[in-house]
């Protein structure tokens, strides 16, 4: 048991539609075992000693959230989802600030559609970045041979995979730095696809912490089928 846990806040951007799942509802509300994906994702953080509070960014017309038991959990607050993931994360940060989060506090941003975050990965992220001046993210080294492919569908080049890592979540940054990075990148029109790329845009170099490859983001129907098989046999 960790007697001196790193305190942290959490933002779960959950305002996406997940159109590649081609389901009748956003992917975070699909069932995995006994609960929805979003409930499993939230459960990765609830119950951890260091959690100060969690903001979940939801679409304004989201009809599914109020039906979840965790919607009334006092540790979880709702924030307004935006047009882009970065807008949803910014709204979550503002919600946490309104709850008392300070600029120096750590915030972990984690995809709603990554329900299989292992507790030991979360602990390693907190342990390795707790004293870091920038912060960083869970990531997985590329394991397959990488090809750069032309518009004609033919290989142009085999890319050296050794320095290539896949960016996973949680991504862990201090609230003030992350807010400045996301706002600055938005004002400059820079494309940021995760929190780390916004912080990189500010000129910093986030650290990568190796995580488990099975912390997958459910994106396509076969991702959910794969995880459901593992879930039942856990």
**Residues lying near ligand C5P in the complex (CB under 6 A):** 13-16, 28, 57, 81-85, 88, 111-113, 217, 219
User: Cβ closer to ligand C5P: 85 or 179?
Assistant: 85
DSSP state of 178: H
Taking the complex as a whole, the smallest distance from the CB of residue 111 to ligand C5P amounts, in Å, to 4
Taking the complex as a whole, the smallest distance from the CB of residue 219 to ligand C5P amounts, in Å, to 6
Distance of CA 208 to the CA centre of its chain: 14
- From residue 37, alpha-carbon distances to 27, 46, 77, 123 in Å are 8, 14, 18, 21
Residue 37 structure tokens: 């994906």
Taking the complex as a whole, the smallest distance from the CB of residue 167 to ligand C5P amounts, in Å, to 11
User: Cβ closer to ligand C5P: 65 or 106?
Assistant: 65
Bridge partners of 54, per DSSP, are: 10, 76
Label the pairing between strands 51-58 and 207-210.
unpaired
Q: Which residues contact 114 (CB under 8 A, 6 or more apart)?
A: 41, 168, 169, 215, 216, 217, 218
Taking the complex as a whole, the smallest distance from the CB of residue 28 to ligand C5P amounts, in Å, to 6
User: Cβ closer to ligand C5P: 59 or 132?
Assistant: 59
User: Cβ closer to ligand C5P: 127 or 225?
Assistant: 225
Taking the complex as a whole, the smallest distance from the CB of residue 233 to ligand C5P amounts, in Å, to 25
Taking the complex as a whole, the smallest distance from the CB of residue 12 to ligand C5P amounts, in Å, to 7
User: Cβ closer to ligand C5P: 82 or 211?
Assistant: 82
Residue number, nearest CB to ligand C5P: 16
Taking the complex as a whole, the smallest distance from the CB of residue 16 to ligand C5P amounts, in Å, to 3
Q: What angle do CA 146, 151, 157 make, to 5 degrees?
A: 30
Helix (H) or strand (E) holding 171: strand 165-174
CB 188 within 8 A of CB 201: yes
Neighbours of 136 (CB within 10 A): 21
User: Cβ closer to ligand C5P: 42 or 97?
Assistant: 42
Burial class (CB in 10 A: 0-12, 13-18, 19+), 93: buried
User: Cβ closer to ligand C5P: 5 or 80?
Assistant: 80
Comparing CA positions, the residue from 60, 109, 54 lying closest to residue 80 is 60
DSSP state of 212: -
């Amino acid at each position: 048991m960790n007697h001196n846990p790193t305190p942290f806040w959490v933002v779960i951007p959950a305002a996406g539609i997940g159109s590649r799942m081609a389901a009748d509802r956003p992917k975070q509300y699909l069932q995995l075992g006994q609960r929805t994906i979003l409930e499993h994702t939230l459960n990765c953080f609830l119950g951890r000693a260091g959690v100060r509070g969690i903001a979940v960014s939801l679409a304004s017309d989201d009809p599914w959230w109020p039906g979840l038991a965790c919607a009334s959990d006092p540790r979880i607050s709702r924030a307004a989802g935006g047009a882009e993931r970065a807008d949803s994360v910014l709204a979550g940060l503002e919600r946490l600030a309104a709850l008392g989060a300070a600029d120096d506090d750590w915030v972990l941003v984690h995809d709603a559609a990554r329900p299989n975050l292992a507790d030991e990965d979360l602990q390693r992220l907190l342990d390795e970045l707790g004293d870091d001046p920038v912060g960083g993210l869970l990531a997985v080294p590329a394991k397959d041979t990488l090809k750069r492919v032309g518009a004609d569908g033919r290989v142009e080049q085999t890319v050296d995979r050794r320095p290539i890592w896949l960016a996973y979540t949680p991504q862990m940054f201090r609230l003030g730095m992350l807010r400045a990075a996301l706002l600055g990148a938005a004002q400059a029109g820079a494309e940021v696809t995760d929190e780390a790329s916004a912080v990189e845009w500010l000129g910093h170099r986030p650290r990568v912490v190796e995580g488990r490859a099975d912390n997958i983001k459910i994106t396509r129907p076969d991702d959910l089928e794969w995880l459901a098989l593992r879930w039942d046999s856990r």
